[in-house]
Amino acid sequence: MIQPAQRMNTLSASVFTELAEKKNKKILAGEDIIDLSIGSPDLPPPASVRSKLSEEVQKEDQFGYSLKGTREFQEAVVHYYKKQFNIILNSDEVLQLMGSQDGLSHLALAYLDSGDYIIAPDPGYPIYSACASLAGADLYTVPVNEENNFMPDFDHIPIEIVKKAKLMILNYPGNPTAAMADKQYFEQAVAFGLEHNILIVHDFAYAELVFSSQKPLSIFHVPDAKKIAVEFNSLSKSFNMAGARIGYLIGFPSYLKPLADIKSNIDYGVFQPVQTAAAYALTNEISFLDHHRSVYKKRRDIFISKLHEKGWDVRVPDGGMFIWAKIPAPYSSLSFALEALDHGVVVTPGNAFGNGGEGYVRIALVQEEDLLLEAAERLAEFLNED
């Protein structure tokens, strides 16, 4: 038998895949299941964006290789960042991607050699650690927890790791923790990157899901950030275009070029009609984002109020589309998730995001309000049985 590459020893089937298999078995058996495991939006993009996509698909000249992002898309991102965050970009500071996960995995290939380190949060979204394995590099994880307000402590990273690190990933609003960073923390991150020549990589995928009075913070709100940082964003969660697979990386062109070169050897670009529809969304449907945000805020409030009413005192997040819920003893993350599944609710065990996630589950607010209330009732049912 031909053996797979050794890197596969550290890459296992996604927990999301495993949960989906168990969920599907129950559905096939006729059970009623409420799926709150994956952060895949259940709502559609704006009607005008769908119309634009449909219109473009009908054009006969739209089915060739796009090869790279169009100037129209780049300028739409520039417009969006100015409108939403008051950040001035040039179009050559925008690199189009097939979503953030595509970019994160290939960024590691573009920058890391054997012996190099990537620093990532624990718990953190799985691609943060997986990209080290994909690139044949080393991973150092820093704990993010309630004790440190889900903020990696730069001072506690060993100097021998710092000397070998090329990339450090941050993610606010966070996945899975739903934590928010303030400007002072981003200033510390930028200073850390500049001092040690480490590229700070900010995953800003949940930029439009901030529920507090605090405005969404891009790392580029820090004046010197462009000297040492890049930022991923996408239309997956902001405009509900997750399946369309379109996102982007922003930063100095010199930081974008290695990733652009990698991608030129891997793919032939995003389908042209998707690019056009995405550019239309960023330029013409920014007003949609306020309504979109209010939907998730109301879902959060209704769901958490019910859990609190039933005695499960979970933390109220200020942003993101997830509840990062500390589970009661004696459950482990996995045993809780399996018990929840037996009661008809799919949640993700916290240790799927790293060892630091043990003791938590992640719950995605990706169902209508009535189903979220029903899910809360089901979860409370078995918790109160104990």
Residue 16 lies in a domain: yes
pLDDT of residue 12: 64
- Cβ atoms of 278 and 241 closer than 8 Å: yes
Residue 52 lies in a domain: no
Residue that is last in its domain, among 266, 284, 302: 284
Residue 57: partners with Cβ closer than 8 Å, 6 or more residues away: 273
pLDDT of residue 229: 98
**In a shared domain, residues 117 and 167:** yes
**Residue 337 above 90 pLDDT?**
yes
- Residues 36-51 have a mean pLDDT of 96
Residue 173 lies in a domain: yes
**In a shared domain, residues 136 and 210:** yes
Q: What is the CATH number of the domain that holds 181?
A: 3.40.640.10
pLDDT of residue 148: 94
Retrieve residue 275's tokens.
Answer: 């690019």
- Residues 53-81 have a mean pLDDT of 97
**In a shared domain, residues 207 and 166:** yes
**Residue 62 above 90 pLDDT?**
yes
Query: What does pLDDT average to over the chain?
Result: 95
**In a shared domain, residues 280 and 308:** no
**Residue 11 above 80 pLDDT?**
no
**In a shared domain, residues 218 and 191:** yes
Q: Is residue 213 very low, low, confident or very high in pLDDT (cuts 50, 70, 90)?
A: confident
**Residue 328 above 70 pLDDT?**
yes
Model's pTM, two decimal places? 0.96
Q: Closest Cα to residue 219, out of 233, 231, 207?
A: 231
Retrieve residue 378's tokens.
Answer: 């089901």
Exposure b/e, 155-181, CB count within 10 A at least 16 = b: eebeeeebebbbbbbbbbbbbbbbbbb
d(CA 124, CA 169): 9
Tens-place pLDDT, residues 169-192: 999 999 999 999 999 999 999 999
Backbone angle region of 255, left / alpha / beta, with phi > 0 → left and psi within -120 to 50 → alpha: alpha
**Residue 19 above 80 pLDDT?**
no
- Counting residues of the chain whose pLDDT is more than 90, the rounded percentage is 90
**In a shared domain, residues 93 and 177:** yes
pLDDT of residue 336: 95
Residues spanned by the domain of 333 = 6-44+288-385
Q: Closest Cα to residue 47, out of 258, 353, 284?
A: 284
**Residue 56 above 90 pLDDT?**
yes
The tally of domains found in the chain comes to: 2
SS3 content of the chain, % helix, strand, coil (to 5): 50, 15, 35
**In a shared domain, residues 86 and 226:** yes
- Residues 340-368 have a mean pLDDT of 96
Q: Closest Cα to residue 171, out of 123, 204, 211, 198?
A: 204
Tens-place pLDDT, residues 253-310: 999 999 999 999 999 999 999 999 999 999 999 999 999 999 999 999 999 999 999 9
**In a shared domain, residues 29 and 103:** no
Count Cβ atoms below 10 Å from residue 293 Cβ, excluding itself: 17
